[in-house]
A = this chain, B = another copy of it.
Amino acid sequence: MPRPPFKVAQLGAGRMGMTHGRNAAANPRLDLAYLIDPRADVAVGFAGEIGAAVASFDEALADPDLAGVIVASSTDTHLQAVLACLTAGKAVFCEKPLDLELSRLRDSEAAFAAAKAPLYVAFNRRFDPQFQALKAKIAAGEVGTLETLHLISHDPQAPPADFIPTSGGLFRDFTIHDFDTARWLLEEEPVEVFTWASALVDPAIAAAGDVDTARTILTTGSGRLCVISNTRRSGYGYDQRVEAYGSAGVAMAGNVHVSTVETWNAAGAHAAPIHAGFADRYGDAYRREMDHFADVLAGETAPLTGYDASVRSLALAEAARRSVQTGAPVKVADI
């Protein structure tokens, strides 16, 4: 006998909100009942599309049948909204990041520890089928003992200049995914971070005090090493790869191409391009994240990433930022 779907609300109908809202609406285990967004026209339009009712945050939380909330509003509202939901006993799916300020997160530690409902923070790459297949190979011992990692994460083109000042900077906005991926695959905490970074892409990024091209090395207590390669503009698509080197071999998760079609002609040998951006590349991952939230709501699993993963990744981002400033390695314990 299938159980009825879990009633959920969604906060926010921006770009990622629309992705998560559509996935929730299409998920047979979820009933997306309420949409909350301060922009009335946006709320009405998207609520219509996904078959939800427009509501206020308080109205939604007041519904005793509401099991959970998808928090996809602007980043600066996440922390307060999440804590309100948890206090109300509602499970939370929070689009990353939980917050951009490490100190603020740490200040809330007790509140999170006291929460009675589960919190899932959406680090989508842990749900990517490619990276999960890679992790399964490592777990199956096909590379021996994992020793070093190389994470390639290159955005196709730089974001609009006005996004940079609010982004939190390259490391908290972008590399944070790689820090989480590194922790997930290494299964050991990085203890020290070194980063060199440049602004090679867009002078506006430098003017905003940020960087756009970075190479980071993490080292763990046991001497394992992880290189993270980042750029804001690859010029060739959304490059997302992982190479995992072990004592007995290597496993490599390659890019996903838009098709398998190759064309050979007088102009050479061509493959289909890789995906142009995150929406296509991680479409499956976003759907599977929502399924994970349904699992969490069903009590079948604890959230894979929550407060602790958020704090730890943000500390690594902060260490990277400090390393760029000081030109020296930074101990995570000092953050």
Q: Is A274 an interface residue (CB 8 A)?
A: yes
The contact of A227 among B229, B234, B245, by CB within 8 Å, is: B229
| B231:A213 contact, CB within 8 angstroms | no
| A245:B249 contact, CB within 8 angstroms | no
| A239:B229 contact, CB within 8 angstroms | no
| A249:B261 contact, CB within 8 angstroms | no
| B251:A266 contact, CB within 8 angstroms | no
Distance of A114 from chain B, by nearest CB (Å): 39
The contact of A194 among B196, B223, B234, by CB within 8 Å, is: B196
User: Of A7-15, A64-72, A128-136, A167-175, which stretch is located at the interface?
Assistant: A128-136
Count the A residues whose beta carbon is within 8 Å of the partner chain — how many? 72
Instruction: List the B side residues contacting A143 at CB < 8 Å.
Output: 235, 263, 265
Name the interface residues of A181-215: CB closer than 8 Å to any CB of B.
194, 196, 198-201, 213-215
Interface CB pairs A-B, < 8 A, 29: A2-B48, A2-B49, A130-B259, A130-B260, A133-B261, A134-B259, A142-B265, A143-B263, A148-B229, A148-B231, A196-B217, A213-B223, A213-B225, A215-B227, A231-B245, A233-B247, A234-B250, A236-B265, A236-B266, A248-B266, A249-B265, A249-B266, A254-B260, A257-B269, A264-B274, A268-B273, A269-B271, A269-B274, A271-B271
Q: Knowing that A227-B227, A264-B273 are A-B contacts, what are 4 other residue pairs whose CB atoms are under 8 Å apart, sorted by A's residue number? A: A129-B259, A250-B265, A254-B261, A257-B269
